[in-house]
């Protein structure tokens, strides 16, 4: 009888674990992830910050609304994606910040200002991918990797939302 009671208790405990992790805090099913127009971005480098870097965006535009950016890091170092809403051309953003989080500096700047950021992926390890879905309004955007020196080495691209 004691073995049977332990077995029933174990089954109940396992069911509680499944219910706890399969149901949201309020007892409802977990919220579905936002889906949006897919945009694939491949970021890369061959020698870290010692050579040019690349960012390939496909397609280079999307309709206003939810946009899902999937970023694949084909490089040798960590990268990221930051989406900036700006009318400044992608190759003309001023390099004025440094550090993490970025702060204004008078010398040694190696990052662009993130004040117009509408979202980001966070760090993406080499050989890894990461996605972020953002709700974007019509307008001009610039996609950048804003780790130290990466923007200046070519990791930037214009993006249009129509």
Tell me: the pLDDT tens digits for 71-108? 999 999 999 999 999 999 999 999 998 887 778 887 77
Rounded to an integer, what distance in angstroms lies between the CA atom of residue 78 and that of residue 73? 8
Per-residue pLDDT for 48 more than 50?
yes
Confidence grade of residue 4 (pLDDT, cut at 50, 70, 90): low
Report whether 141 contacts 125 (CB < 8 A).
no
- φ and ψ at 70, to 5 degrees? -110, 120
Give how far the C-alpha of residue 37 lies from the chain's centroid of Cα atoms, to the nearest Å.
Answer: 15
Rounded to an integer, what distance in angstroms lies between the CA atom of residue 147 and that of residue 77? 10
> Which pair of structure tokens corresponds to residue 135?
């709700």
CA–CA distances in Å: residue 56 to residues 9, 22, 39, 52, 160: 55, 37, 10, 13, 14
């Amino acid at each position: 009888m004691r073995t049977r009671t332990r077995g029933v208790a174990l089954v109940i405990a396992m069911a509680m674990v499944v219910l706890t992790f399969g149901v949201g805090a309020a007892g409802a099913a977990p919220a579905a992830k936002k889906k949006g127009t897919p945009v694939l971005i491949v970021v890369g480098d061959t020698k870290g910050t010692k050579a040019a870097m690349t960012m390939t965006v496909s397609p280079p535009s999307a309709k206003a609304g939810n946009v899902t950016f999937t970023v694949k890091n084909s490089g040798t170092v960590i990268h990221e994606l930051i989406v900036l809403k700006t009318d400044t051309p992608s190759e003309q953003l001023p390099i004025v910040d440094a550090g993490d989080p970025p702060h204004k500096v008078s010398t040694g700047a190696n990052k662009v200002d993130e004040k117009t950021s509408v979202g980001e992926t966070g760090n993406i390890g080499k050989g890894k991918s990461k996605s972020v879905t953002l709700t974007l309004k019509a307008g001009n955007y610039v996609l950048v990797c804003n780790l130290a020196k990466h923007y200046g080495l070519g990791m930037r691209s214009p993006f249009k939302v129509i």
